[in-house]
Structure 1
Amino acid sequence: MAVFEVSMERSRLSSALIAILMLPAAGAAFAQDSNTEAAPQSSQETVDVADSTDHFDTVIVTGSRIKRAEIEGPAPITIISAADIEKQGYSNVYDALGSLTQFTGSVQNEFDQTGFTPNASFLNLRGLGPGYQLVLINGRRTADYPLPYNSSSNAVNLANIPTAAVERIEILSGGASAIYGSDAITGVVNIILKNNYEGDQFSLRAGTTSRGGGDSGRLQWFGGKGGDAFNVTYALEVSAREEILGSQRGFMDSALDGPANGPRTTGVGLFSGATGQNLWPAGLETTCARFEEFEVAGNSCLYNGHAATQSVRNSDRNLAGYVAGTWYLDDNTQAYGQINVSDSRATLVPRMEQWTKVFGDLSLNAYAFAVRSFAPSEIGGVDAYAQHYDETTFDATAGLRGSMLDGRFSWDATLSHSRYELDINRRMFLTQALDEYFLGQELGRDAQGRPIYAGINTDRLFNPLDADTYRSLSTAVHSEAESSVTQGTLVVSGDLFELPAGAVGMAALLEGARQSYELTPDSRTLPGNPGSGSFNLVSTGGEGKRNRYAFGLEFSVPLTSQLKASLAGRYDKYDDATAVDDAFTWSTGLEWRPFDSLLVRGSYATSFRAPDMHYMYASSSAFYIDIVDEFRCRANGVDPTSTTCNTLGVQPSVAGFRNGSTALEEEKGTSTTLGMVWDIIDDLSVSLDWYNIKLEGGVSDISVRTLMREEAACRLGTDRAGNAVATDSPYCVSVMSLVRRNGDGSIANYSSFPINQAMQETSGVDVNWRYKFETARLGDFNLGLGWSHVLDFERQEFADSAIEDTRDDRGFFNFRSRMNWSAAWSRGDWNANVHGYRWGSLPKADGSDRTAPYLVWNAGIGKKINERASLGLQVNNLFDKLAPRDDSYTQYPYFNPTYSPVGREVFVKFDYKFN
């Protein structure tokens, strides 16, 4: 209890809990007034799982391989049903999971085009990162998205799983490697697909946005047939969505929308390299007017329209199909299988390219600096340079299951294969072709290494291109990626023997798997390859595979009629190029029910994560980044933490180089949960769970900020606090070798690679409140409230560095709290719902303060037309809520891209059941 007392003072948790615990009293009084018959009491939330059990009378629930009828165990589980997904208007599985209060971490998304995966959607439970929760489909692993998140780590894309095939989603909060192996650090997401369905249903949905763009349509057909010896379930989903461009969002369609009217982009310019003097020919306004999108401002010709022509949300077209079947070979044996396939094409419109060049001009007898932006009107429109993502997924499973020893034990043998293929096509300028178009042939280099030309072609520089010229100066760039996982599993479970309090349950697991991935970018985008440097684009390649074998045991032991214990252990053996040889994890849990309406629970688990494939096998890649040179600041007597240093020490577009590492070891974690579930009255429950998750040896690249700090300390012989640093130590020699400097002291480039370095630890609370009741006159009501609050989030970059509490750090862009709520009503042929969510504040871009919380409301209404047909209207973001204001966010899009700029969306849905 001491932990809770300290946390309450810090986060005002006590007030919230008192309020939540008071709500049932008011609800109970209202329910009593309605004079309705009470439902049977239950100690946890109940879910209809009959469709998932076939001819067995128990079901496996995420978090255990022991068959059981109870939904909740020693660790908290959240369930999102297919009905929840539909009634709350979610377009896909990711949208549904995005509503989780445990989703406190930030992730890149399709709007954030600075990322390497702008067409994928990832989960980040508890803020540790997208790869630290295990995503399963029907309890089995699925292939990772082939492109690595942030060009480094692998994770599962949740946007391409068709909702038509989903029965429910189970989310286990906490470590579960002892059951499922690697990656289950912060939790497990198990997407359970439909099975044993009878009948057919057709669904058609159409939607649009109130601010323009984003029209969408979706057709779903799902159904099933069955007989005495078989059942087949199938689903088909076709969907399409048009893009939203910056020009359709007036608050972000121009550089002038920024809080400081900028930064604005030079449309076309020619300047003296020595003095910065404008070298424009006569008639600035006349020349600038030749370009439709450019405008004169002072003595410059500016282009403010980059934002207008890039995607706010991608367009896409998706086709997905699913079929599953079960064949009852005899009373004790079943054969089953399923195939899930999808094909999608998404189009992203990136920020238009810009040509810049520093060169020696013999006609000027000086060196000059030229800038040339390109507008869509010059090259044939935005479609001319759009990026196309063609993605195909295939997931197949076949297995046998049955019972033995007179039904005392059941067994399940499964073989599955999952594959994800991706092609990316885009068009890009050829760097050399642009140089020659504006400057002619290079004549040599001056003493500083700058290229020398006879003189710039001002007629070409100061006149627009046309579509044919654009195609002659550009080329198609094609990249491919694929990933796969093949897995065989045998599970045997049943009751070992009887104790006075009940049967001892057991599950045993044997598993073998093979995982592979391959990235094949256009060779001209790789450093050191023929043609490299052809574009203002760099990529990363990689290829590798690993084999894994595992054995696990799990026990459920009823100690008394009120107390149940669970214990699990798993051994994983790895066969790959890393330093990971094997890993053993274990977990234990307790469930205490002092009386029927109260469950007190707790769990402790160890967990691990094998290094990402791309962390291991990434080939050499290059990138460019703005760096604040701490050495330069400190050498000039400037405080490295001051805003002065950010101005003085910044060096733009420094080249960085990165490689994978096979010297990595597994990341190790622990997870502790403690909580309770209380059924206060019939159909009224509240749960409270405290969690603590610690990760050690986390794999990541050395951050640029840390590298610059350590390099400055090693070069100067003292750290920021004035403590002596041994400049000739092996550590300093290694750090300084990563940063290479020019003769004038500026940074030429730096190198990076992943290492086991970081410690992260987070703790917090999850609160859930649910109440459903019926009234004779007003109808039936179902209410829910969820809240997660991060109490602490600590980080340590190296084993010997200081531990920093980053939860309140102005540079920590994870949410400290998230909340959601729902209210559903039905009466006769009518139904309605209101739901929404609240995201806590984030630091402002300049770290001066925090933004306001983000609050969104959604609502819907439906009507049964007859016994077969129904019609519904759903409005998401009912009040058209946009991102919280942050005037310090001076870079496009002028707000944190975690928030969506889409605004209000309206959907109309029609359902029809054929039998």
Structure 2
Amino acid sequence: MQKKMISAAVLAVLMLNSAQALAASMSGGMQETPATQDGLSNQSKKAKSLDTVTVTGSLIPQSQVETATPVFTITGDQMKAQGFTSVAQALQASSFATGSVQGNSTSASFTQGAETMSIFGLDPGYVKYLIDGRPMGNFPALYNGSGAFNNLTSIPAAMVDHIDILPGGQSSLYGSDAIAGVVNIVLKKKVDAPVVDVRYGWYGDGGGSDRRIYLADSFTAGKFNITTGLQYENVSPIWGTDRDLTKQFYTNGTSPAVASRDFLVNSSTKVRNSYVDPNKLVPGACGSTTGLFGGTEGYQYRKNSGNYCGSFDSPGYRTLKNDKEIANLYTHATFDATDNLQLYGDLLYNYDQEKYATGSSYTWWGTSADFGAFYDPNLKDLVNLQRGFAPEEVGGYNSIMNKTIENSYMLTLGGKGVIGESNWDYDINFTHSDDHLNERKFARWTDSIDGYFEDRVLGPQLGTFKGYPIYAPNYSAFYQPVPVSDFRGFTGYTTTNSKTWDNIIRGQVTNTSAFKVGGGDAGVALALEGGNQGWDYSPDARLMDGGVWGTTAVQGAGHRSRFAGTAELSMPLLKELVMDTSLRYDNYSVSGKHVDHTTYNVGLEYRPIESLLLRGKYGSAFKMPTLPDEYQGMSGYYNTVTDYYNCAQAGYAGANIGNCPNKYYNSQFFGQKSGNTALKPITATVWNYGFVWSPITNMSWSVDYYHFDIRNEVDQQDADVLSQQEYLCRSGAIDINSASCQQALSQIVRLPQTTPEFLGDISTIYTPKVNVARERLNALTSSFQYLWKLGSYGALALNASYSDILRHDRQPYPGDPMIDLLRNPYYSTDFKTKVNASATWSINKWSTTLYANRYGSTPNYLASTLNNYTSEGTGKLAPWFQYNASVTYNAMDSLALSFVVNNLFNTMPPEDDSYPGTSGSPYNGTNYNVYGRSFYVQATYKFGKTH
């Protein structure tokens, strides 16, 4: 029986490496298959590789395809057949990627030029990304302005051999970050002939045209082997004007469509009907603006507010998909120095230029930012002015796009081989990764733009009225378009530079038959690694000193060193039962202090019969606080907090705290936040169990259940909790001399005391990042594969993958109740379920694939706003279905022609009529996109193959 299993494993490996003849016969979906790595070319090593296979999820080569660690694989051929045009797209479509993430569709986000994924709705930073088994460097900019993450945008899809996805905690092998799972992107190590691949794509509704060329070749000269690939891709943007749902304000929502407030005078003293009618200020005022926004600007009315000048079409002037220019170079080289030593090197270089526009909603001027409300003696009222800029004024939004340029590379040099005549293999390597980011963002210069409107509209200050400045504006000038030359006089670009770097030296030894136990040979792996890493985010100085109107930034920089040791032991206790254990110790040096953590994992594989595998794992995982978590610079904000001590002094505490005078119940303070070098590791207890059943040849069905209990998650400290703690310390409920009290008191600064019974008002509260949150999650996954050989009719490959989030709770702060994220839509809009399936039919020179992806229901806008499903209008959206289809024709051995249609039925996001008419994008951009149907034609030519 064991021999049959080994033969099956070897056959699976050979099938993976020779799938070209079947034209992606298994390209219908994710498969539970092993990853393979290239090895020594000497005969002893070749013989050894027939017995074992290196798999992602174990340091020890395995003799079984399936192990205690579920591994789901998608090959490069599968990505092509399923219609995926990028690595990010393929990963985000996987059934495990149920979480909402920001990306190109998230206007004005901190990282609009980057793409990532979320496994099971956990933080994107909880996924460990590897390239050829080595850690991928972090993106220099911060996800949502706070967290470090990996950018998947520039990974060259044409150079990918396959991608392994390992859901569940994997830190005992891969270290920090591997809480939600591990993604290993394995690049091609050899091509069998020089290849040229060209692809052109376009969208049926316009925009997004895609041009890509890929060149690759392998060379051999004696003991030297090298494989080199080049990929270049250029993608045009998709604008909001290209899609019906985003070219104007929503017309089918809970309120009529409301035009943008491009020219607005607003009273600060009125609650209702606060807009000052333009015709009251200048007869026919909006008539001067009608040429803006393509001739759609005009006199508008907003219910309960009043009249102004605006356009219904202003939402369309932003990008939904970035303009991209990406170039990649990949080289893999080996040199067989001796029978026991192979030297190798890998280089992956990426250039990624992204351009995008955030639109008129983020391109405006108003008095509220720098002048505040002012007194108009002619209106005898306090008012504010607001002014949006139309494309005719800016010279076209395509001329003021933001641009980011990322230059990154990953270089590995190493040697591997066999120690003498023993069974011990070794691998020693050094990896350096480097990522530089240049952000050139459109900006309004504070002094210039304020000065422009002060000179032309506000005029000189005429004194003060009850502390407010007095201006008598020239409203005729206010309701006039701004010439493009004037606009360019008070705008420009900031330049922000940032970088990350990582150095790792690693040594590993493995032995697949270190000693014998009851079921056969035990395998051992030992590894040591050490290195350092750094992060530096240096914004344009004008973003730091107020020189940019309406925009700020936060700087930060830091570095740390680390080392780790890993041990793995795989023992066949019986022929049917294998136990795999791993242990890892990580130690980080942070600002002179050492932070360490140990993780472990125990896995069992039981095969009661040849066709059935029962498996399970139990262990721990961790994530070291990121460098931005530790070293992000100081920034400020304003908020309100309850002053619990002064409320108690006034006689209001506990149940009657709500009656406390507003002076203390809503005490305004200036907050300061920053990173924290004293943070502890985020820790997790993780386990999974499941089965793999192969009832007949070429059929496999697996089901796995996952559990995560994550503690010490990093979040900003809660000012309200600090105020409560101060009260408890000052009232004697907690020893005021305790370390926790002294810390809390030091973070709250008060004004001087003015009355004996009350402390001075709260002035400043320092709220750094702290370890406070907890998260629990249970998930179920299932996959199915069947290759049905049809004789003269070819072969049919059927694949399916399913994920269901059974439980997801989060506790923001110790003592807070756990929030059920599946039933509290304000806190999460993730998909609860995702399922995809495919069918690939291959016959002779033809292969065709139909791929379907079902995204489960999500809360509608009103539910996520009100945090319930019971109020009128709340509910869940219908599931979203997308279908892709492809056909490949191998015209000759040297030429393959392909045609792909993505989103076959041009399906838009499910209708969400709970959005109001003020929305210009009535769908959740972190879950859905409105790109629609796209088409791709592709030709692959291999030189030297003429049959």
| Per-residue Cα deviation, 1:130-156 (whole angstroms, up to 9, x for no partner) | 110100111111210100111111111
Equivalenced residue count is 840
Task: Check whether the contact 1:578–1:665 (CA below 8 A) recurs between aligned residues.
Answer: no
AA in 1 matched with 2:633: S
| Aligned positions of 1:770-809 closer than 5 A | 770-809=785-824
Task: Look up the match of 1:894.
Answer: 922
Q: Displacement, 1:539?
A: 1.2
Query: Structure 1 residue 873 and structure 2 residue 894: aligned?
Result: no
Give yes or no for contact 1:684–1:770 (8 Å, CA) kept in 2.
Answer: yes
2:364, 2:389 within 8 Å by CA — same for their partners in 1? yes
Answer whether contact 1:825 1:833 (CA < 8 A) is retained. Answer: yes
Q: Residue 356 of structure 1: which of 366, 372, 381 is its match?
A: 366
The residue number in structure 2 matching 1:515 is 533
Label 1:407 to 1:99 Cα distance change in 2 as closer, same or farther (>3 A). farther
Pairing 1:595–2:621 present:
no
- Cα gap change, 1:254/1:826 in structure 2, threshold over 3 Å: closer, same or farther? same
Q: Are the counterparts in 1 of residues 189 and 332 from structure 2 also a CA contact under 8 Å?
A: yes
Alpha-carbon contact 2:719-2:767 (below 8 Å) kept:
no
Q: Taking structure 1 as reference, are residues 888 and 750 closer, same or farther at Cα in structure 2, changes over 3 Å only? A: farther
Would you say the 8 A contact 1:483–1:516 is kept in 2? yes
User: Counterpart of 1:340?
Assistant: 348
Given the superposition, is the C-alpha separation of residues 912 and 732 from structure 1 closer, same or farther in structure 2, using an over 3 Å criterion?
same
The yes-or-no answer on 1:90 pairing with 2:113 is no
The residue correspondences of 1:562-573 to structure 2 (distance < 5 A) are 562-573=576-587
- The match for 1:63 among 57, 65, 70 is 57
Q: Is the 8 A contact 2:34 2:55 kept in 1?
A: no
State how far apart, in whole Å, the 1-side matches of 2:401 and 2:669 are.
27
Q: How does 1:679-694 map to 2 (within 5 A)?
A: 679-694=694-709
- Could you tell me which runs of 5 or more consecutive residues in structure 1 were left unpaired when the two chains were aligned: 1-38, 641-650, 718-724
- The offset of 1:350, in angstroms, is 1.1
Give the match for residue 19 of structure 2: none
Q: Paired residue for 2:875? A: 849
State which of 513, 532, 555 in structure 1 corresponds to 2:546.
Answer: 532
| 3-state DSSP of counterpart to 1:255 | coil
**One-letter code aligned to 2:508:** V
Find the aligned partners of 1:547 and 1:331 in 2 and give their Cα distance: 36
- Other-structure match for 1:3: none
- Of 693-702 and 365-374, the range deviating more from structure 2: 365-374
Note if contact 1:439-1:454 (Cα within 8 Å) is conserved in structure 2.
no
Q: Name 1:909's counterpart in structure 2.
A: 938
- CA contact under 8 A between 2:40 and 2:342: conserved in structure 1? no
- Does the CA contact (< 8 Å) of 1:179 and 1:568 recur in 2? yes
Following superposition, the deviation at residue 122 of structure 1 comes to 1.1
- Aligned pairs for 1:667-746 (under 5 A) are 667-702=682-717
Pairing 1:295–2:326 present: no
Q: In the TM superposition, what whole-angstrom CA distance separates every residue of 1:805-862 from its partner, at most 9, and x where no partner exists?
A: 3222222211111111111011111110011211111111221211111111111111
Q: TM-score, normalised by structure 1?
A: 0.86
**How far has the Cα of 1:573 moved from its partner?**
1.1
1:325 paired to 2:333: yes
Following the alignment from structure 2 to structure 1, what is the Cα–Cα distance between the partners of residues 809 and 167?
19
Q: Is the 8 A contact 2:862 2:915 kept in 1?
A: yes
- Do residues 858 (structure 1) and 856 (structure 2) align? no
State whether residues 264 and 309 of structure 2, in contact with CA within 8 Å, keep that contact through their aligned partners in structure 1.
yes
Q: Secondary structure at the match of 1:763?
A: strand
Once the two structures are superposed, the pairs formed by residues 747-766 of structure 1 within 5 Å of their partners are 752-766=767-781
Deviation at 1:431, TM superposition (A): 2.5
1:387 to 402, 410, 413: 402
Cα distance in structure 1, aligned partners of 2:154 and 2:674:
30
The match for 1:826 is: 842
Residue 199 of structure 2 aligns with an amino acid whose one-letter code is R
Which of 535, 538, 541 is the equivalent residue of 2:555?
541
Greater CA deviation, 657-666 or 253-262? 253-262
Task: Compare 473-482 and 797-806 and name the one that shifted more.
Answer: 797-806
> SS at 2:532's partner residue?
strand
CA-based RMSD: 3.4
Which range moved further: 343-352 or 732-741?
732-741
Equivalent in the alignment of 1:183:
177
Aligned residue number for residue 487 of structure 2: 470
Q: Which amino acid aligns with 2:815?
A: D
- Secondary structure of the equivalent of 2:694? strand
Partner of 1:75: 69
User: Contact between 1:669 and 1:695, CA under 8 Å: does it hold in 2?
Assistant: yes
Aligned pairs for 1:72-151 (under 5 A) are 72-151=66-145
Higher deviation after alignment, 725-734 or 77-86: 725-734
- For 1:29, the equivalent position in structure 2 comes to none
* 796-805 or 383-392, which deviates more: 796-805
Letter in 1 for 2:324: D
Q: Distance in 2 between matches of 1:383 and 1:738?
A: 47
Q: How does 1:278-289 map to 2 (within 5 A)?
A: 278=276, 280-289=281-290
Give the letter aligned to residue 366 of structure 2: T
Deviation at 1:716, TM superposition (A): 12
TM-score w.r.t. structure 2 length? 0.83
Residue identity in the other structure for 1:68: Q
Please give the secondary structure, in 1, of the residue aligned with 2:143: coil
How far apart, in 1, do the equivalents of 2:670 and 2:909 lie? 33
Contact 1:196 1:231 in 2 (8 A): no
Paired AA for residue 161 in structure 1: I
- Closer/same/farther in 2, CA of residues 699 and 50 from structure 1, 3 Å limit: closer
Contact residue 579 and residue 664 of structure 1 kept, 8 A: no
Give CA deviations for 1:327-349 in whole Å, capped at 9, x if unaligned.
Answer: 10111110000111111211001
Three-state SS of the structure 1 residue aligned to 2:179 is: coil
Structure-2 residue corresponding to 1:264: 259
* Distance in 2 separating the partners of 1:272 and 1:104: 45
In structure 2, distance between residues paired with 1:688 and 1:233: 38
Return 88-97 or 804-813, whichever deviates more. Answer: 804-813
SS at match of 1:232: strand
More displaced, 455-464 or 325-334?
Answer: 455-464
Name the SS for the 1:127 alignment partner.
coil
Q: Pick one of 469, 472, 491 that aligns with 1:455.
A: 472
* CA deviations over 1:6-56 (Å, ceiling 9, x no partner): xxxxxxxxxxxxxxxxxxxxxxxxxxxxxxxxx9xxxx9556847567554
- Tell me the alpha carbon deviations over residues 75-129 of structure 1, each in whole angstroms, 9 at most, x when there is no partner: 1110111111121121111111112211111111111024211111112112120
Does residue 597 of structure 2 align to residue 583 of structure 1? yes
Assess if the C-alpha contact under 8 Å between 1:51 and 1:196 holds in 2. Answer: no
Per mean C-alpha deviation after superposition, the further-off stretch among 391-400 and 798-807 is 798-807
Q: Residues 407-456 of structure 1: CA distance to partner in whole angstroms, max 9, x if unpaired?
A: 41000000010111111112321233222222237649847664x35432
Instruction: Give the distance between the partners of 2:830 and 2:745, measured in 1 at CA.
Output: 29
Instruction: Indicate how the Cα distance of structure 1 residues 45 and 541 shifts in structure 2: closer, same or farther if over 3 A, else same.
Output: closer
Letter in 2 for 1:663: A
Q: Where does 1:145-224 land on structure 2 (aligned, <5 Å)?
A: 145-224=139-218
* SS in structure 2 of the partner of residue 199 of structure 1: coil
Query: Quick check: 1:165–1:235 contact (8 Å CA) kept in 2?
Result: yes
1:289/1:295 contact within 8 Å kept: yes
Q: 1:545 to 1:713 in 2, by over 3 A?
A: closer
C-alpha contact (below 8 Å) 1:578/1:662 kept by paired residues: no
Which residue of the partner structure matches residue 769 of structure 1?
Answer: 784
2:633 is equivalent to residue 619 of structure 1:
yes
Does structure 2 retain, via aligned residues, the 8 Å contact 1:265–1:302?
A: yes
Contact kept in structure 1, 2:192 and 2:218, CA below 8 Å:
yes
**Greater displacement, 747-756 / 188-197:** 747-756
Letter in 1 for 2:846: W
The range that moved more, 361-370 or 243-252, is 361-370
Write the distance in 2 (CA, Å) between the matches of 1:323 and 1:887.
51
**Greater CA drift, 748-757 or 853-862:** 748-757
Answer yes or no: is the 8 Å Cα contact 2:402–2:442 preserved in 1: yes
Identity %: 27
Aligned residue type for 2:825:
R
- 5+ residue gaps, structure 2, are 1-25, 302-306, 645-649, 656-665, 755-759, 864-873
Q: Read off the aligned partner of 1:860 and give its amino acid letter.
A: S
